[in-house]
Amino acid sequence: MKKITVIVRNLPLNTRRNSEALRMGVGLTLREDKVTVIFMDDGVYSAAPAVPELIGAPTLKKEFEALPMMKCTMLADKPSLEKREIKNLVPNVKPEDRDEIVRTITGSDIVIPF
Amino acid sequence: MKLGILLTSSPENENTNTVIEISRAAREKGHEVSIFLMYDGVYNVHKKEFAELAGKGVSIAVCALNAEQRNVQKVEGILFGSQYDHACIAGDVDRFISFG
Amino acid sequence: MQDMVNMTTELDLRGEVCPYTFVKTKLKLEEIECGEELIVAFDHAPAVENVPGNLKNEGHKILGIEKKDDHLWKVRIRKA
């Protein structure tokens, strides 16, 4: 079993990269590997409640349902959250200290910054 | 050694040339190479260099959903596969590099 | 008592795309017993091209793929 980390770093509403990163994260769980998704920098906005469908952008509802179901851990980088004053996160995303984020990344067999 | 490569950027990005050169060099040294193209990376599928890599034994798979979304037509010798195929590559290789 | 081998479950995955077509098929297969059959309906062509092969890779048996119309296929699977 490999440890695979997917890093989401972009602003969510001007790209489909973030939704695709999460869809890919769901796919990566299919061979029983341990998948972690980390939201950091502007990517933390993707982990905050939003209504992207109002502007025709993809909703992340399905991804946020499937990832915990497939035992994927979702972490949000605390310094990134604090800098942007984000207080609320979608269910199952855990705010995490930078040290732990670094430990997760360096302890991974594969890191995919998407 | 088995090398896995994920490419998510379009052919205009310099990543494309890097992926081609790395794959070519790895094959010349006898390594197994698997490439997965997804997101805008699926646009690379029509580049002749990727057909050449496939001819040299590089395994190339494309996210069929992303290709369908972008109206990218199928190419012989390249698997229009699924995210499961990507998970298999990630699970099976010794080293994995992501370009996006 | 009903013969377990003859038990068939149906799953409607119309409207779903990759990887949810595979994820939901896999989760449903986890609910049924080995040897039982699952029939899955897909309306996304790439899913019909990929999910059966991916399931075979996981050891399951594909008993048949039936094309109902231009946008509907039914895949019959036996759980390994």
Domain boundaries of chain B, sorted by first residue? 1-25+37-77
Q: Collapse the DSSP code of A95 into the 3-class scheme (helix H, G, I; strand E, B; otherwise coil) and give the result.
A: strand
Q: What is the DSSP string of B15-61?
A: HHHHHHHHHHHHHHTT-EEEEEE-GGGGGGGG-HHHHHHHHTT-EEE
B20: phi > 0 → left, psi -120 to 50 → alpha, else beta; which? alpha
Which residue of B37, B38, B85 to mutate against A (max A Cβ within 10 Å)? B38
In this structure, the strands spanning A93-96 and A110-113 are: unpaired
**Is C7-72 a domain of CATH 3.30.110?**
yes
Q: ω before A95 within 30° of 0 (cis)?
A: no
pLDDT digits (tens, 9 = 90+) for B23-76: 999 999 999 999 999 999 999 999 999 999 999 999 999 999 999 999 999 999
**What is the rounded distance in angstroms from the CA atom of residue B64 to the CA atom of residue C17?**
10
pLDDT at C1: 47
Q: Among candidates B6, B1, B2, B4, which has minimal Cα distance to B63?
A: B6
Domain boundaries, chain C: 7-72
- The CATH code that applies to domain A3-113 is 3.40.1260.10
Which of B58, B72, B70 has the alpha carbon at shortest distance from B23? B58
Task: Calculate mean pLDDT across residues A49-65.
Answer: 93
Residue recorded with tokens 């959250």: A81
A58 touches chain B (CB under 8 A): no
Chains touching A by CB (3 or more pairs below 8 Å): B, C
In angstroms, rounded to a whole number, what is the distance separating the alpha carbons of residues C25 and A95?
32
Instruction: Give me the residue spans of the domains in chain A.
Output: 3-113
Q: Which residue of B has its CA nearest to C49?
A: B81
Distance between CA atoms of residues B33 and B4, nearest Å? 6
Calpha distance C42→C40 (Å, rounded): 6
Kindly report, residue by residue over C29-59, the tens digit of the pLDDT: 999 999 999 999 999 999 999 999 999 999 9
Contacting residues for C20 by C-beta, under 8 A, at least 6 apart: A26, A62, A66, C13
Is the pLDDT at B15 greater than 90? The verdict is yes
